[in-house]
Chains A and B, each alone.
Chain A
């Protein structure tokens, strides 16, 4: 089981202090959070990609390249890389470059983006989101797997004899997750290729998450990648921890109430009952997270959102300390004990993908 954190990189005023960080402070805070994630023994740090305020992370591989130099073990990922508005050629190049710099500690999560104006800013149309995701990814796969690509599609200038450089590290493309909250087409896409499927379930009810992941698992088996239980599943989630659950709720409530994504609708208590939002003691967070197995089956990656809605860096780092000391070791032990034999312990890594490729080559 890989456990990690993901950041959307929002610049939000702290509702209890009234002050928003500067862009510089927020960017450096994301770096500090990633370094701390490695220090406390988390496996993954993933950054969002956004091209509009109040978000700062428009250039994921710049940030992840910097982090690659400052970390030794942490797997660097995205949540998400926009497969719709980015040129797939640039994605192929950027992430292959990052693979080399990070010695393979890279995977990426593809998403469509749901902000209407971003599409026309990059020359596209949000109504074509699914066809863009389908076609762009089909090209991206070829760019990583074929030396010389002749290609023609609906959305991009044709390519004749194009070689994407650098080639993927060891000739093994980074592992890809496809993320979608509500589109069955994307679960189908992940299943078709035998890639990972990530559900950012922080705003969604268990019933819906079960249906989406269930579809992906069933179709993964249908397309011949192995039994449904062996499909590679990741989940999001938000946690806020204090030793005493009442303190956690009291401290987090003003952030919840004013959060652009949460506030002014259901109460914190209603939200916790319906979604995986977990605010409480370490034991409550552990129980809630382990309970997600009952919704999606045994899964391979859990990413926590811990730094949005204006939470100050000092608080976020305290959260990471508690995660690292009291939550993560228990989750690792419990997930491992519960996982049936045969179910992958973690998603494919650079080393495991290379070994699988070598085995395939040797058997030919």
Chain B
């Protein structure tokens, strides 16, 4: 079977960023779980910071070019997406949202997506449920049940929460892997290569 394509989208801004750190762990857990099912996967990471200006341009022009276009196309062709954002003002960051605004309609339809978020405190953890999950539901993605939130304290070993984060990451990665393994590795339909025949449009379809 061909290798599956997993695209990671992270909106972390720091270097290193905790969003990237979480995203990498989620990707590794997914790849591990897939390997256990005998499925190989390639991971491609998109750091949205690198596309910040291009995304602002895409907002005002309505089209995307160059590296941003390639990143958007990679998401559309992916078998699964892992999307991680830092929490800004009680929601995903504007940069994160702009990327999904620039994405073609239907690009995520039916696609398995694993969502994650990071913040300084666990008080923001419901951002995953009241902001992230509705966004991806709107985009018709299939969001795995376990969403992973990492507060600063989760990265510390002493509290015992490191184990908890690791367990949640493994569980989420397993859920995503299960969906990917069960899904056909189809590329999205290309309406330019394969248009709806006009008789069908005339008939009201």
Spell out A's residues near B (CB within 8 Å). Answer: 130-131, 134, 138, 154, 184-185, 187-189, 191-192, 203-205, 208, 211-212, 214-215, 219, 223, 263-266, 270-271, 274
How far is A265 from B61 in the complex, measured between Cα atoms in Å?
7
Spell out B's residues near A (CB within 8 Å). Answer: 56-57, 59-63, 65, 191-193, 195-198, 201-202, 204
Contact of B191 among A134, A184, A205 (CB under 8 A): A184
Contact of A203 among B56, B62, B198 (CB under 8 A): B62
Contact between A208 and B201, CB atoms less than 8 A apart = no
> What's the count of A-B pairs with C-beta under 8 Å?
52
Given A154-B204, A184-B192, A215-B192, are A266 and B198 also a contact pair (CB < 8 Å)?
A: no
How far is A154 from B205 in the complex, measured between Cα atoms in Å?
13
The 3 A-B pairs with the shortest beta carbon distances in the complex, nearest first, are A265-B60, A192-B198, A184-B191
Chain B: minimal CB distance from A199 (Å)? 13
Chain A: minimal CB distance from B120 (Å)? 33
Chain B residues with CB below 8 A from A134, complex form: 198, 201-202
How far is A205 from B196 in the complex, measured between Cα atoms in Å?
24
Chain B: minimal CB distance from A116 (Å)? 15
How far is A195 from B112 in the complex, measured between Cα atoms in Å?
42
Chain B residues with CB below 8 A from A189, complex form: 198, 201
Contact between A265 and B56, CB atoms less than 8 A apart = yes
Contact of B196 among A185, A191, A203, A212 (CB under 8 A): A185
Residue of A nearest to B197 (CB): A188
Chain B residues with CB below 8 A from A274, complex form: 65
Contact between B195 and A131, CB atoms less than 8 A apart = no
How far is A208 from B64 in the complex, measured between Cα atoms in Å?
10
Contact between B56 and A188, CB atoms less than 8 A apart = no
For chain B, what secondary structure do more than half of its interface residues adopt (helix, strand, loop), or is it mixed?
loop
How far is A205 from B61 in the complex, measured between Cα atoms in Å?
11
How far is A205 from B57 in the complex, measured between Cα atoms in Å?
14
Chain A residues with CB below 8 A from B62, complex form: 203
How far is A266 from B55 in the complex, measured between Cα atoms in Å?
10
Contact between A266 and B57, CB atoms less than 8 A apart = yes
How far is A154 from B62 in the complex, measured between Cα atoms in Å?
32
Of B56, B60, B196, B201, chain A has the most CB atoms within 10 Å of the CB of B201
Contact between B204 and A188, CB atoms less than 8 A apart = no
Contact between B61 and A188, CB atoms less than 8 A apart = no
29 contacts between A and B (CB under 8 A): A131-B204, A134-B201, A134-B202, A138-B202, A184-B191, A184-B192, A185-B195, A187-B195, A189-B198, A189-B201, A203-B61, A203-B62, A204-B63, A205-B63, A211-B192, A212-B192, A215-B192, A215-B195, A223-B198, A263-B60, A265-B56, A265-B57, A265-B59, A265-B60, A266-B57, A266-B61, A270-B57, A271-B61, A274-B65
Chain B: minimal CB distance from A76 (Å)? 29
Contact between A219 and B61, CB atoms less than 8 A apart = no
Chain B residues with CB below 8 A from A265, complex form: 56-57, 59-61
How far is A192 from B65 in the complex, measured between Cα atoms in Å?
31
Contact between A264 and B198, CB atoms less than 8 A apart = no
Chain A residues with CB below 8 A from B195, complex form: 184-185, 187-188, 215, 219
Chain B residues with CB below 8 A from A214, complex form: 192
How far is A203 from B60 in the complex, measured between Cα atoms in Å?
11
How far is A189 from B198 in the complex, measured between Cα atoms in Å?
6
Besides the contacts A188-B198, A205-B65, what 5 more A-B pairs have beta carbons closer than 8 Å? Answer: A131-B204, A188-B197, A203-B63, A215-B192, A266-B61
Chain B: minimal CB distance from A348 (Å)? 20
Contact between B192 and A188, CB atoms less than 8 A apart = no
How far is A187 from B201 in the complex, measured between Cα atoms in Å?
12
How far is A189 from B201 in the complex, measured between Cα atoms in Å?
9
Contact between B57 and A188, CB atoms less than 8 A apart = no
Chain B: minimal CB distance from A358 (Å)? 28
How far is A211 from B190 in the complex, measured between Cα atoms in Å?
11
Chain B residues with CB below 8 A from A191, complex form: 198
Chain A residues with CB below 8 A from B204, complex form: 131, 154
Given A214-B192, A219-B195, A274-B65, are A188 and B60 also a contact pair (CB < 8 Å)?
A: no
Contact of B201 among A185, A205, A215, A263 (CB under 8 A): A185
Chain B residues with CB below 8 A from A208, complex form: 63
Of B191, B193, B195, chain A has the most CB atoms within 10 Å of the CB of B195
Chain A: minimal CB distance from B87 (Å)? 28
Chain B: minimal CB distance from A180 (Å)? 12
Residue of B nearest to A191 (CB): B198
Chain B residues with CB below 8 A from A192, complex form: 198
Chain A residues with CB below 8 A from B196, complex form: 184-185, 188
Chain A residues with CB below 8 A from B56, complex form: 265
Contact between B201 and A130, CB atoms less than 8 A apart = yes
How far is A185 from B200 in the complex, measured between Cα atoms in Å?
11
Residue of B nearest to A206 (CB): B65
Chain B: minimal CB distance from A283 (Å)? 26
Chain B residues with CB below 8 A from A266, complex form: 57, 61
Residue of B nearest to A212 (CB): B192
Chain B residues with CB below 8 A from A130, complex form: 201
Chain A residues with CB below 8 A from B57, complex form: 265-266, 270
How far is A266 from B191 in the complex, measured between Cα atoms in Å?
28
Of A203, A214, A265, chain B has the most CB atoms within 10 Å of the CB of A265
Residue of B nearest to A270 (CB): B57
Chain B residues with CB below 8 A from A264, complex form: 60
